């Protein structure tokens, strides 16, 4: 990822922070279910130190802090971290360190993080996007790891836009063939290295509507994280979304399968 793509990534996630914060508030049952699985699996306890990679608005960082000794949470988005800080304050959580960092650029030796955490987790985090960043996640843990990601994702509008522009969908899964997602690749790595692990799948579907102006901004920023766009492509994005708008509103239906893996060393 070059400098321009890094800037685009920060801009995109900052623009999505409010939406993600709202979704986090709506998904309390889902959140509690995951934390309960981590507790039942022996991955966390009241003395655990946790690293949350790509913490977003504190969806898991805050409830984990309520159940463990300390959580270190990092994200590339200052706006996500602001929501996380607010969520922690509302919950009375003080055992939480927030860091504006990109996991791709994080040096474990510099931070003295190698084997420093009882649990290292990356829930739907684009920061873990290739073999190197996965290996770094595993090295930061002295006990347990958790990873979740899309195994399958269909975006009714986003996929059509990629086809219209004739660009690949990207941008994060940089794993070697034949692996097309981080869950399948990590499954392979864990088997090769002799780990015992648990794998679960969850099917989800959601619908999001936004104004035409918001949609143009959203999809342009999303594409800029992985592609350099020409002026012509910028115009094609706007023109295409105009054809999809009804009463100046664009609707995206997303159908996914989320995979999760957790394992202990």
Please tell me the distance from the alpha carbon of residue 219 to that of residue 12, in angstroms, as a whole number. Answer: 9
| Domain ranges, ordered by start, for the chain | 3-153+172-208+254-264
* Fold assignment, 3-153+172-208+254-264: Rossmann fold (3.40.50)
Of 157, 137, 136, 159, nearest to 148 by C-alpha is 137
How many Cβ atoms sit within 10 Å of the Cβ of residue 183? 24
pLDDT of the chain, 265 residues: tens digit per residue: 566 777 877 878 888 877 777 877 777 888 899 999 999 999 999 999 999 999 999 999 999 999 999 999 999 999 999 999 999 999 999 999 999 999 999 999 999 999 999 999 999 999 999 999 999 999 999 999 999 999 999 999 999 999 999 887 554 456 766 777 899 999 999 999 999 999 999 999 999 999 999 999 999 998 888 788 899 999 999 999 999 999 999 999 999 999 999 999 8
Cα–Cα distance measured from residue 138 to residue 190, given in angstroms and rounded to the nearest whole number: 10
- Whether the model clears a pTM of 0.85, i.e. scores above it, the answer is yes
Please classify residue 63 by burial: count the beta carbons closer than 10 Å to its beta carbon, then call 0-12 exposed, 13-18 middle and 19+ buried. Answer: buried
Do 250 and 179 touch, CB atoms closer than 8 A?
A: no
**What single string gives the DSSP state of each residue in 115-154?**
T-EEEEEEES-TT--BHHHHHHHHHHEEEEEEEEEEEEEE
DSSP 8-class letter at 172? S
């Amino acid at each position: 990822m070059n400098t321009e793509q890094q800037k685009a990534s920060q801009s995109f996630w900052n623009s999505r922070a409010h939406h993600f914060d709202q979704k986090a508030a709506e998904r309390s049952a889902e959140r509690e279910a995951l934390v309960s699985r981590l507790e039942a699996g022996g991955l966390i306890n009241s003395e655990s130190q946790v690293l949350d990679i790509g913490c977003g608005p504190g969806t898991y960082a805050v409830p984990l802090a309520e159940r463990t000794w300390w959580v270190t949470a990092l994200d590339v988005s200052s706006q996500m971290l602001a929501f996380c800080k607010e969520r922690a304050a509302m919950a009375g959580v003080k055992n939480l360190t927030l860091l504006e960092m990109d996991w791709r650029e994080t040096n474990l030796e510099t931070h003295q993080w190698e084997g420093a955490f009882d649990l290292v987790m990356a829930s739907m985090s684009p920061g873990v996007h290739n073999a190197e960043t996965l290996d770094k996640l595993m090295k930061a843990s002295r006990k347990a790891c958790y990873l979740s990601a899309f195994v399958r994702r269909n975006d009714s509008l986003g996929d059509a836009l990629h086809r219209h522009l004739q660009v690949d969908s990207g941008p994060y899964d940089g794993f070697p063939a034949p692996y097309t997602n981080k869950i399948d690749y990590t499954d392979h790595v864990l088997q090769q290295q002799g780990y015992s692990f648990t794998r679960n799948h969850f099917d989800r579907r959601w619908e999001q509507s936004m104004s035409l102006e918001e949609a143009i901004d959203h999809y342009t920023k999303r594409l800029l994280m992985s592609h350099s766009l020409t002026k012509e492509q910028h115009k094609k994005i706007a023109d295409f979304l105009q054809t999809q708008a009804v009463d100046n509103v664009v609707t995206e239906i997303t159908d996914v399968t989320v995979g999760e893996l957790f394992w202990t060393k």
